[in-house]
Amino acid sequence: MIEFGSRARKLPASPPAVWESLTRPRRAGARPWLNLLGDEVEPRILRAEEPRTVVWSSLWPSRPDDEILFELSATPSRETLVRFTLLTPDAAPDASKAGHLRRRLNVLLFADLRYSYGG
């Protein structure tokens, strides 16, 4: 797999809470956060190891073989450091497409998911 994008930031929830959000984004009682665009599809969970890792299938039908790896770690302040990594078995997308995909994950995780925790 080729890595073509990665970013890490903190979320104001514990690793088990973030892990559950990533593995069950539409669970009953949760605030909605996985707001997909018209060119995106619901991800499938390919692999998960509670509460440290989750791997999603691609959100983008134009890149069906890509994967999104999430690595979660606790911080001293009881938050979660979340690193996402975009991976592909194919050729990496051009810089414009890669930038768009990274931006979308930034919005989904570090805006929409963050706000779902009330922070």
Per DSSP, the three-state class of 113 is: helix
Unique residue bearing structure tokens 């949760």: 30
Q: pLDDT tens across 86-113, in order?
A: 999 999 999 999 999 999 999 999 999 9
Report how far residue 71's alpha carbon sits from residue 49's, in angstroms, rounded to the nearest whole number. Answer: 10
| The two three-digit tokens of residue 77, written as one number | 């302040």
Query: Running DSSP on this structure, what letter comes out for residue 95?
Result: H
What CATH architecture is 2-116?
2-Layer Sandwich (3.30)
Work out the average pLDDT over 41-65.
Answer: 97
The helix (run of H) or strand (run of E) holding residue 11 is strand 2-11
Domain locations in the chain as residue ranges: 2-116
CB neighbour class for 20 (10 Å; exposed up to 12, middle 13-18, buried from 19): middle
